[in-house]
Structure 1
Amino acid sequence: MISIIIPVYNEEKQLPALLKYLETASSTYIREILVVDGGSTDETSRLAIEHPKVTYYLSEKGRAVQMNYGAKNAKGELLYFLHADSYPPENFDDFIVKAVRKGYNCGCFQMRFDKDHWWLNLMGHFTKFNHLSCRGGDQSLFVTKNLFHSLSGFDENYTVYEDNEFIKRLYEHGSFTVIRKWLTTSARLYERMGVWKTQKLFIEIYWKRRFGASAEDLRSHYCKRINS
Structure 2
Amino acid sequence: MLRSREELDALLDDSARAWLDAALTSAAGANGPGNGDRPAGASGTATGATVPTPGRGTTPVWELRFAEAGRLCGQEHADSVRVLLLTAAGAGADTLTRLYARGTAAERRALLIALPRLGGLTPPGAALPLVEDALRTNDTRLVAAAVGPYAAEHLDTHAWRHAVLKCLFTGVDVDAVADLERRAAGDGELARMLADFAAERTAAGRATPPDLIRVLALAGEHSEES
TM-score by length of 2: 0.22
Structure ranking higher in strand proportion: 1
TM-score by length of 1: 0.22
Structure ranking higher in helix proportion: 2
